[in-house]
Each structure stands twice: as C-alpha cells, then as structure tokens.
Amino acid sequence: MKSPCPRFLCCSWRVTSSGFPNVYRPKFISAELSTAASAGLICQGERGTRFRLVRPLGTPARDKASNVWLAIDESRPDAEYIIKLPPGDNNDSPWSNTALAALKHELEMQRLFAKDPMIRRLVDYVPESEPVGPMMVLEAFTDSLWDARNARPFTAKEIKWIMKGVLLGIYTVHMRGLVYTDLKMENVVLGGFDSSKPSENFRDLIVRLADCGSISKPSTREITSLTYRSPEVHFGKSWTSSTDVWSWGIILAQLFQAQVDFRSAGIYDSIQSKSLEEKRDTIRGQLAIDFDLSSLPFYAEDKQCARILPTPQPERAYMWANNMVEKGVPGNDIHFLVEVLPPDPNARLTVREILESGYLDG
C-alpha cells in the first residue's frame, strides 16, 4: 500500500507523479545534423504547431553557438516559448554525439516529470527531421530567480514562498530516487514578478525548476556550479539528494544577504579567480574554513580529504553567520540556515523535514 501524501503536499503546490514506463524515448537517428539556428527559422513540432525562432537568449561560452532561443507560435505571435537545442559550436558543423545524448537525457527527464507542476512544462518536441532539429519547446517565463534577485530585494514573505516552491520542485525529483544536481538561481524561473515593487499577494508568484538536464542518480562525479557546490562534492566524496539541500541553503543565504546588502555579491559569489580551477580551489578552501571541516571526522579522517584540507582556522568558523547578523539578517533566519547547512551530509535536514518544520509557512 502506498504511504499517504505528506501533509505539506496537500495544498495548491501539490506534487503528482508519472510512472517510469511512460517515459518518452526519442529516436535520434544520427549526429549529422546542422547546428545553424537563425532568427526567422520555422520548424514544426510533433503536435503540428509551427514555431518561429526570434532571437538567441543568454550568453554562450566562447566559440559556442547559443542553444537557447526565444520562439513564437507562428499562428499566435503573442504566444512565446523557449526553444532548446543541443549545445554546439559556433559554426554549421554537426552536433557531437555527446551533445545529442545530453539533449536526449534532458528530454527524457522532462517527459518523466511531465505531470509534476513544479517543473517547467515541456510544450512540444521538434524532431530531427525538421530544420535544426531536434529541439525542445518549453514554457516561457519572464524572469529567472537570478534576474529577479538583481532587480530588487525580496520581502521575507516572497523569499519563503519562492524557496518553498523550489524545495517542492526538488522533492518531486527526490521522490524518484534522483538528484537535481545543478540547483542555482539561474535554474529557477518566476512568473508574475514585478521588478518595481513587491506584489500585493506574494502567492501570485509562480515558481518552477527550469532545467532537467543534470538530473541523475547519486554518484561520486563532480557536479553543481561552484558557488552552490556542497562540501562533499568539493572534496570528492559520494553524494546523494542531500547535496541539493546544500545548494538550496546557499541560495536562501544569498537572498537573505541581498535583503540587507543588495549591491554586494552573495556568499561564494564574490570570489574571483583567473581560471575555473583556481576559483574551485579558492571556494573549496574558504568553505572548509567557514564550516571548520577539519574538526569533522567525516572529512578529517578521510585520507583523500585530509590531503587538500587547508590549515584549520577554528576562530574563523561560522563568521559568515556572524556577518549576516551584524548586517541585519534576523537571528531566527540565521539559526535556520545553520540547521540546513551542516557540512556533514548525514546531519543535513531532508527536504521533507524542512517542509514539515513550518519555517517556510511563517
């Protein structure tokens, strides 16, 4: 017999499930496909809708073509969508098998979570037989959480509402034994956000997880953007769903910081280095000091971790929390953050425990 639906899901946020047997597995015929997406290009989805590409979105990496586009329904120009292609080089060369496999995995995850309301909806799929196919057609939102964070400070109620929505999105993933692995502000989208002033009803804000491409089973491989990467990942240990809770806690900390010091970068976002490797090492070392990892057997008694742990500085442990209190973040919010962010993943709260704590309902 199935266990009853948790209390925190018996509401407008309610999460539903779709079964693994229904996962759509698209047929990718080859990698010999053009990557030359361009404005004005028209392609047809499996449902018969014709989509026109309008402009590329985001900032692609050097020598890479943008694989995310704004598109419109050709018969209804006011209906906007997001088109996502396999990542490709900045030329007309075929996509690599790796790029096609990445899109295939993301499409499978979108299909798997098709009935879960906290995941951005897959609207249609453009097959590889179409110009510049394959493509995913996704629901469009006005802002990412990153955009909104940089527009104005959130109210306390907005923060809790948004972070509850994010947590429910993660919970739908964890319910299937999977891990989101790339939780960051850029991968959370909002609808109904007013950049000029808080909404009269914060519950009007729509919150969705926007990228399913990194969802996977627990593992030991390197995951997550550096700023939001959990200590166990930084130090090469195995990770589970608790790594998502760490990333969630870092986002929450950054939103609290923006409330009291809007123009300053959030925790671990201010670290600048010449290379990605240098930034990784700098953040890893700072995190080890901030959370006093040398005092924890989980890290200190692991030979691999011990080799890269910096010299202990216990007097600096949790200074980040003290600094937030001094700037005006309420003590109860700091206390909650400390509970969410224990560096030992075995001591970390689960998503369900956070939701049932009632903190996000206050």
**Chosen CATH of 18-139 out of 3.30.200.20, 1.20.1440.120, 1.10.150.240, 3.40.50.300:** 3.30.200.20
Tokens 């442990």, residue? 317
Q: What is the pLDDT of residues 224-279, one digit of tens each?
A: 999 999 999 999 999 999 999 999 999 999 999 999 999 988 999 988 877 999 99
Q: How confident is the model at residue 338 (pLDDT cuts 50, 70, 90)?
A: very high
Q: How many CA atoms lie within 13 A of 251 on its CB side?
A: 29
**Does the structure show a pLDDT above 90 at 10?**
no
Residue 174 CA to residue 241 CA, distance in Å, equals 6
* pLDDT of residue 67 exceeding 60: yes
Backbone angles phi, psi at 2, to 5 degrees: -70, 145
Residue extents of the structural domains in the chain: 18-139, 143-361
pLDDT at res. 225 = 94
**Gap between the Cα atoms of 274 and 236, Å rounded:** 23
- DSSP H stretches of helix in the chain: 97-112, 145-149, 156-174, 231-234, 242-260, 276-290, 297-300, 303-308, 319-327, 331-340, 351-357
Res. 64: pLDDT tops 80: no
Instruction: Report whether 208 contacts 192 (CB < 8 A).
Output: no
Q: What is the pLDDT of residues 180-236, one digit of tens each?
A: 999 999 999 999 999 999 988 999 999 999 999 999 999 999 999 999 999 999 999
Q: In the predicted model, is pLDDT for residue 138 greater than 80? A: yes
159 three-class SS: helix
- Do the domains 18-139 and 143-361 sit in the same CATH topology, yes or no? no
Q: In what order do the strands lie in the sheet with 135-139?
A: 42-44, 50-56, 68-73, 76-84, 135-139, 122-126
Residue of 148, 171, 143, 172 whose CA lies nearest to 159? 148
Mean pLDDT across the stretch 8-19? 40
Q: What is the pLDDT of residues 292-309, one digit of tens each?
A: 999 999 999 999 999 999
With residue 114 as reference, give the H or E element that holds it.
none
pLDDT surpassing 80 at residue 290: yes
**For position 151, what pLDDT does the model report?**
97
**143-361 maps to CATH 1.10.510.10:** yes
Q: What pLDDT, on a 0 to 100 scale, did the predictor assign at position 30?
A: 41
What pLDDT does 91 receive?
55
Neighbour-count burial of 86, counting CB atoms closer than 10 A to its CB (0-12 exposed, 13-18 middle, 19+ buried): buried
Q: If you average pLDDT over every residue of the chain, what do you get?
A: 89
Task: Please name every residue paired with 135 in a beta bridge, in sequence order, or none if there are none.
Answer: 126
First-residue to last-residue Cα distance in the chain: 33
Confidence label for 132 from pLDDT (cuts 50, 70 and 90): confident
Taking the model in full, what pTM does it have? 0.89
Q: Which of 20-24, 130-134, 280-284, 353-357 has the lowest mean pLDDT?
A: 20-24
**Residue of higher predicted confidence among 27 and 309:** 309
Mean pLDDT of 341-352: 97
